[in-house]
Every structure is written in C-alpha cells, then in structure tokens.
Amino acid sequence: MAKRQFGSDSRADQLKEDLRHLSDTVEELVNATSKDASGEMSDLRARAESRLKKARAQLEARGERLYEDTRETLSEQVDCCDRYVRENPWSSIGIGTAVGVLVGMLLGRR
C-alpha cells in the first residue's frame, strides 16, 4: 500500500519556520551587541550563541523524531485497517453502509 501524506506537513513546516525566525532574531540581537567590548557582554553573547545552537539542534532532532514516529504509527494503522477490510469485506460494507445512513440522517435534519 502506498504511503499517504497527512495534513501535519504544513503544521510541521510552520513550526520549523517559527523556530527559524526566533533563532534568526536571537542571532541578530547577539550580532547587534557585538560592538559592546565589555567582558561581561562578551561572555553573555558567547553563552547565548552556544545555547541557541544547542537548542536549535535539539528541537530539530526532536521534531524529526516526532514526525517520523507519527508517520510510522499512522502508516501501521492504515495498514491494519486495510488488512481488516480485505479480510472482512462484508462486515466492512455493513459498517460503511451504517455510517452512510447515519450521516445521511444527520444531514437530512438540517
């Protein structure tokens, strides 16, 4: 069975874009303060840069892992449903018919 695309792609892309925008803003802030030569500011800037890189790497890794886990789980569920329908075609037809009648009745009331 072919793998299907689910609607989570656009949400994942939006989250990545938001995180990228946030990290770019922090980088701009760090670069804007680079002209301040005080030792304390240099130390803070270095810590901010290292934490930003670490957070970016962790978030990307977690996001990719979550995406792959979700995709794998959904794929397994689709395969299970497909297998059930192939093994029990008449039960599947009955369930589909019952759901169709129920939806028809609900839409007919409006």
Q: What is the largest CA-CA distance in the chain?
A: 78
Whole-model pTM? 0.47
Token pair, residue 46, equals 């270095």
**pLDDT value, residue 34:** 67
Q: How far is CA 92 from CA 2, 59, 104, in A?
A: 21, 42, 18
List of residues 6+ apart from 17 with CB closer than 8 A: none
**pLDDT value, residue 1:** 44
Cα 107 from chain centroid (whole Å): 33
**pLDDT value, residue 26:** 74
Closest by alpha carbon to 22, among 56, 72, 68?
56
Per-residue pLDDT of the chain (110 residues; tens, 9 = 90+): 444 455 566 777 777 777 777 777 777 777 777 666 677 777 777 777 787 788 778 878 888 888 899 999 999 999 999 999 899 999 989 999 999 999 999 999 87
